[in-house]
Amino acid sequence: MKLDFAKLPVFEGVMTFLVIVIALTFVFAFKATEGKSEKGAATGSPTAAATGSGGTGGGLQVTAADYSFSPTELTVKAGAAATVTLKNDGPATHNLRIAGADNTFNTDDDAVTDPLAVTAGQTATITWTAPTTAGDIKFQCDFHPQQMQGTIKVQ
Ligand SMILES: [Cu+2]
């Protein structure tokens, strides 16, 4: 007589049990891995963006008033990409123009606020990359170049 194990109720029960155990093992293994990766991401330190006038790149903030910049001196690392934000706190229109690597205004390599004319209360930004060599780079307000000047120290 040939014995067919697959047709035995006991065998069927064991197989069902094994299938459930294997399935649950995969589900729990997956959940455990998922939990670990989430935890890892949460504990990872976020990339710190430089902020403030003393930053070495990233974000630089300048406030314009009638008729001065604050601060008048910024510091960045050579070759660093920086976003310079100009906030106009004065009633007059201002802007901010950064001289190019030649440190001379209006020679095609300047970086200037967008928009060019920053009206009262408005904020404008400049995407600027510092020269790769250390030195002082001038900035000014095109509307008041005699009164509103500053220096970016490239280190
Ligand atoms: Cu001005």
Q: Tens digit of pLDDT for each residue in 23-69?
A: 545 455 545 544 444 443 333 333 333 334 444 567 999 999 999 99
pLDDT at position 5 is 57
Q: List, as ranges, residues with CB under 5 A of the ion ligand 1.
A: 94, 141, 143-144, 148
Assigned CATH for 58-154: 2.60.40.420
Does 124 have pLDDT greater than 90?
Answer: yes
**Residue tagged 């109720």 (tokens):** 9
78 alpha carbon – ligand 1 mean position (Å): 27
- pTM for the model: 0.64
97 alpha carbon – ligand 1 mean position (Å): 10
The whole-number average pLDDT for the span 106-120 is 96
E strand or H helix at 36, and its extent? helix 9-43
pLDDT at position 141 is 98
